[in-house]
C-alpha cells in the first residue's frame, strides 16, 4: 500500500511539473462589453463572489492553463461566477460548455443563461437526453 501511495504521489508531482511548463490561451483583459455584462447583474455581489470572479478572470488572463474548482453552498452565486467567465471566453471568440449532473439542472441553467445573456448576441443552447439526435446535431453544427 505504501508503495502504491508513493507511486501516485510521484505521478502527481510529474504531472504538475509538466503542467507548469504548458502555455495556454491568455484571454483579453475586460473590455467595455464585459463591463456592461458584469454591471447588468441585477443583484449586489457578495465579497466571496467578487473575490472569486477576480481570481477566475486573473487566471483566464494568464497564459497558464487554469486549474480551479469553485465550491459553495446552493444559492451563493457560483452560477454568476461561471456566467462571467463564460462571457469572457465567448467575448474572445471561444466556445463554452457548462456541464451539470442532471437534466433538471441543465434546463435551469439554460433558462438562467438565456435570461442573463439576453441583451448580448451570444447563442445559448442546451444538450440533454431530452433532445433528439437530429436536434443535437443541429445545435452542434451551429
pTM assigned to the model: 0.85
DSSP string, the chain: -HHHHHHHHHHHHHHHHHHHH-----PPPP-HHHHHHHHT-SSPPPHHHHHHHHHHHHHHHSSSPP-------TTSSHHHHHHHHHHHHHHTT-------SSHHHHHHHHHHHHHHTTTS-------STTS-HHHHHHHHH-
The pLDDT value recorded for residue 18 is 83
The pLDDT assigned to 88 comes to 98
pLDDT in the model for residue 51: 96
Place of cell 444559492: 75
- Could you tell me if 136 and 127 are in contact, meaning their C-beta atoms sit under 8 angstroms apart? yes
Domains, the chain: 21-94 (3.40.50.300), 97-142 (no CATH)
How many angstroms separate the CA atoms of 67 and 59, rounded? 9
| Residues 125, 95 contacting (CB under 8 angstroms) | no
pLDDT < 50 stretches in the chain: none
Closest by Cα among 74, 27, 78 to 53: 78
Write out pLDDT tens, residues 97-112: 999 999 999 999 999 9
Q: Residue 39's pLDDT is what?
A: 97
User: Which are the contacts of 116, defined by CB distance < 8 A and separation ≥ 6?
Assistant: 40, 83
pLDDT value of residue 72: 86
Q: What is the pLDDT of residue 93?
A: 97
CA distance 134 to 83: 28
Q: Which candidate, 125, 86, 80, 83, places its Cα nearest to that of 106?
A: 125
Q: For position 3, what pLDDT does the model report?
A: 83
Amino acid at each position: 500500500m505504501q508503495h502504491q501511495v508513493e507511486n501516485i504521489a510521484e505521478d502527481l508531482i510529474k504531472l504538475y511539473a509538466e503542467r507548469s511548463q504548458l502555455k495556454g490561451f491568455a484571454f483579453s483583459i475586460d473590455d467595455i462589453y464585459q463591463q456592461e455584462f458584469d454591471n447588468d447583474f441585477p443583484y449586489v455581489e457578495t465579497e466571496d463572489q467578487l473575490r472569486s470572479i477576480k481570481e477566475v478572470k486573473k487566471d483566464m488572463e494568464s497564459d497558464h492553463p487554469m486549474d480551479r474548482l469553485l465550491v459553495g453552498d446552493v444559492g451563493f452565486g457560483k452560477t454568476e461566477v461561471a456566467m462571467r467567465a463564460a462571457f469572457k471566453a465567448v467575448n474572445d471568440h471561444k466556445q463554452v460548455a457548462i456541464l451539470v449532473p442532471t437534466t433538471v439542472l441543465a434546463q435551469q441553467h439554460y433558462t438562467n443563461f438565456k435570461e442573463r445573456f439576453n441583451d448580448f448576441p451570444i447563442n445559448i443552447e442546451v444538450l440533454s437526453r431530452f433532445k433528439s439526435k437530429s436536434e443535437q446535431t443541429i445545435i452542434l453544427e451551429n
